[in-house]
Chains A and B, each alone.
Chain A
Amino acid sequence: DTGVSQNPRHKITKRGQNVTFRCDPISEHNRLYWYRQTLGQGPEFLTYFQNEAQLEKSRLLSDRFSAERPKGSFSTLEIQRTEQGDSAMYLCASSLERGSTFGSGTRLTVV
């Protein structure tokens, strides 16, 4: 499978816990993006990497959120001290120059 892979597909966590999601992009893609999609809304940009460098972060990315792409390949998105408002679908996308390919997302439910 040469698509964008995200794990886990679903995550249920208690409020206040930390969670971490993983994204494996298409191997030759140097750009990687994280988006958040809440129910009934379009995806909203969170952050962007070119290779291992995090080049832009949205205002949506509070201090509780951190993303890494240590070797310019896979990426992780961590949310600390989760809140119910963090419940959403977290989408990862990768691209080379133009045209992003999206993964199936990780659905987070904070109870």
Chain B
Amino acid sequence: GNSVTQMEGPVTLSEEAFLTINCTYTATGYPSLFWYVQYPGEGLQLLLKATKADDKGSNKGFEATYRKETTSFHLEKGSVQVSDSAVYFCALRRSNAGNMLTFGGGTRLMVKP
């Protein structure tokens, strides 16, 4: 079956530090990969996505590259801000009909000034 594994949090960083949140997946076929962010008290927001191998998704300074050989989609940001504090979810979308998402467990990021 399909599954997504993320590094456990919380991840605590100082402002302007480099961020990596690891994500690996297991899937049949060729899924699309996503990162969603959930700020306190809010719903999930799409952060970035990649639909095929070697694609790089990017948004708001965050990047992730679809690595088929390592089945990974690690999230990175060169310099985090306090406002990036949130829970980040890696997800895959099955390639068959329906477009349902399978999520990882989430990683809480805390950025200190």
Contact = CB atoms under 8 A, between A and B. Distances in A.
Contact of B46 (A4, A31, A44, A99): A99
Q: For chain B, give the interface size range.
A: 20 to 34
Contact of B98 (A35, A44, A56, A91): A56
Interface residues of A, number: 25
Interface stretch (A11-19, A69-77, A80-88, A101-109): A101-109
B100 A42 contact: no
A97 B51 CA distance: 13
A29 to B, nearest CB: 11
Interface string A14-55: 000000000000000001010100001111110010000001
A48 B44 contact: no
Interface stretch (B11-19, B62-70, B71-79, B102-110): B102-110
B26 interface: no
Interface string B5-29: 0000000000000000000000000
Contacts, number: 53
A102 B43 contact: yes
Contacts of B43: 4, 91, 102-105
A56 B100 contact: yes
B83 interface: no
A100 B49 contact: no
Contacts of B100: 33, 45, 48, 56
Given A41-B106, A91-B43, A101-B46, 9 more contacts: A41-B105, A43-B101, A44-B103, A45-B100, A100-B46, A102-B36, A102-B43, A103-B43, A104-B42
Interface of B: 4, 32, 36, 42-46, 49, 89, 91, 97-106
Nearest 4 pairs of A and B residues by beta carbon: A42-B103, A104-B43, A102-B44, A102-B43
Interface of A: 4, 31, 33, 35, 40-45, 48, 55-56, 91, 93, 95, 97-105
